[in-house]
Structure 1
Amino acid sequence: MRTFLWYFLGWLGLVLSYPILIKAKYYELRQKTEHKNHFVNQKSQMLARYLFKLTGSTVNVTGLENVPKNGAVLFVSNHQGHMDSLIIHGFIDKKKGFISIVEVLKYPIIRTWMKLIKCVFLDRENARQSSTCINQAIEHLKNGQSMVVFPEGRLSDSPEVGPFQRGWLRLATKSGVPIVPVSISNSYKALAKDGSKVGGVQVECVISAPMYTDNLKKADEVAFIDKLRTAIMQHVSAQIV
Structure 2
Amino acid sequence: VTLSKLPEALPAEPANSRDPGITDLRRKVNLAAGFGSALPLAAGALGVGLVTRSRRRGLNFFSSTWTPLLLATNGIRVNAVGQQNLTVQRPAVFVYNHRNQVDPFVAGALVRDNWIAIAKKELTRDPIFGTILKLNDAVFLDRDDTTAAVESLQQVEERMNRGLSILIAPEGTAHETTTVGPFKKGAFRIAMATGVPIVPIVIRNADIISPRKKLKVTPGTVDVAVLPPIPVDGWTRENLADHIAEVRQLYLDTLAEWPTEIPAG
Distance 1:7 1:142 in 2: 35
Residues paired across the two proteins, number: 235
Q: Does the CA-based 8 Å contact 2:99-2:212 persist in structure 1?
A: no
Q: What residue in structure 1 maps to residue 202 of structure 2?
A: 183
SS of the aligned residue for 2:233 comes to: coil
What corresponds to 1:213 in structure 2? 232
Q: Secondary structure at the match of 1:17?
A: helix
Corresponding residue for residue 4 of structure 1: 28
Distance in 1, matches of 2:85 and 2:222, equals 19
Cα deviation 1:27-74 (Å, max 9, x = unaligned): 6xx8x22xx322321332211112122332211111122234453111
SS in 1 for 2:196: coil
**What are the residue-to-residue correspondences of 1:34-113 with 2, within 5 Å?**
36-108=55-127, 110-113=129-132
Q: Percent identity?
A: 24
Q: TM-score scaled by structure 1? A: 0.86
Question: Equivalent residue for 2:252?
Answer: 233
Runs of at least 5 residues in structure 1 that lack an aligned partner in the other structure = none
Instruction: Give 1:163 deviation, angstroms.
Output: 0.7
Q: CA deviation at 1:112?
A: 4.8
- The whole-number CA distance in structure 1 between the counterparts of 2:50 and 2:125 is 24
Partner of 1:16: 40
**Tell me, what secondary structure is at the counterpart of 1:214?**
coil
Q: Shift of residue 152 of structure 1?
A: 0.5
Deviation at 1:94, TM superposition (A): 4.0
* Unaligned ranges ≥5, structure 2: 1-22, 259-265
Contact 1:139 1:175 in 2 (8 A): no
Give, in angstroms, the shift of residue 194 of structure 1: 2.5
Judging by fraction of residues, say which structure has more helix: 1
Query: CA 1:13 to 1:137, structure 2 compared with 1: closer, same or farther past 3 Å?
Result: same
Contact 2:201–2:226, Cα closer than 8 Å, also in 1? yes
CA distance in 1, matches of 2:215, 2:188: 34
Describe the shift of the 1:103–1:54 C-alpha distance in structure 2 as closer, same or farther (beyond 3 A).
farther
